[in-house]
Amino acid sequence: MPLHQKNPRCSHDQRLQTHRMNQDLEVAQISRALEVTCLSSHSLMPGNSKEAAGAGIPSIPEGPQSFCSSSIAITATSSSKSDEGFSSQEEANSISLATPDPKNVPLVALGEKVASLVNFLLYKYQMKEPVTKEDMLKIVIKEYEDHFTEILLRASEHMEMIFGLDVKEVDPSNHCYGLLIKLGLTYDGMLHGEKGIPKTGILILTLGAIFMKGNRATEGEVWEVLNVMGLYSGRKHFIFGEPKKLITKDLVKEKYLEYRQVANSDPAQFEFLWGPRAHAETTKMQVLEFLAKVHGTHPSSFPSQYEEALRDEEERARTRISGRAVSTSMATASSRAKSSHFSRP
């Protein structure tokens, strides 16, 4: 092979090698994100447990149903450092696994593998490359091959709950997986041509907060929900960046959200509503099913929202049927008109 020609396989291996070299810092960040966004001990809805119960919102059950495994026990740095992000390996090392009981060492190791796999899946998503079981085993899982299914399942749950991405096997014969945006949404918050972290999870939680608050939520109510993920207004998040710009400008510009002043509010207060693109791409039922899954329960556990979501599904079904009927009627009329035209002497 001529020297000036690049070997595609070598290029692929070099990218993976670079990825592995930078992995320690990134895995520390991802591990921290998994811990910060651990929803097993927090409700997505604001307020204490009594307030949640009064609003008809069930508390999140503890135990096997929880998506955030206790096997990832992380000692985080101060909140001020978290806002600034990690600028060095030394800062990354300030996050350490809590000293486990010897019996739990395998669980802690599996937790590390889950964080590493989440990091690897995000890398593949950024590169728009397919994910194969072979690569996951070779680069991430390694000596824990016997636990592949469990590690992939837990990593997939984190990808779903935090980043709003579904991990689906798209080619069973070759064990190839695809990373797809959830709930029919088509925007991941990543700027074209730039690497970053998908922010669909933030969008879904915001849409969920709006729906749970009666289809409109004040800015304060939305931030109470996002605070669960460690996202605060005006404070740069070490993984997701500046969240205020995302929800008040970017997602508004993309027509997923409406952001407007509450009528007659003095001093001025602002509220969020679903935008036209959100209504077009997803449904209230899909968002409610997502929230129910986070809570480890069924959508019917939210009675009023479940009934509204069912009505919305029925209305959408009627609209589709009506649309098809109109299309069929127009096609029939057009066909008759043509037939009449050609049958004239």
Q: Does residue 88 contact residue 77 with C-beta atoms inside 8 Å? A: no
Please report, rounded to a whole number, the percentage of residues in the chain having pLDDT higher than 70: 61
Give pTM, 2 decimals: 0.69
Q: Does residue 144 contact residue 137 with C-beta atoms inside 8 Å? A: no
152-202 pLDDT per residue, tens = 999 999 999 889 999 999 999 999 999 999 999 999 988 655 567 899 999
pLDDT score at 45: 43
pLDDT score at 109: 83
Tokens 């000036």 — which residue? 4
pLDDT score at 241: 84
pLDDT-based confidence at residue 304 (cuts at 50, 70, 90): very high
pLDDT score at 22: 46
Please report, rounded to a whole number, the percentage of residues in the chain having pLDDT higher than 90: 44
User: Does the structure show a pLDDT above 90 at 324?
Assistant: no
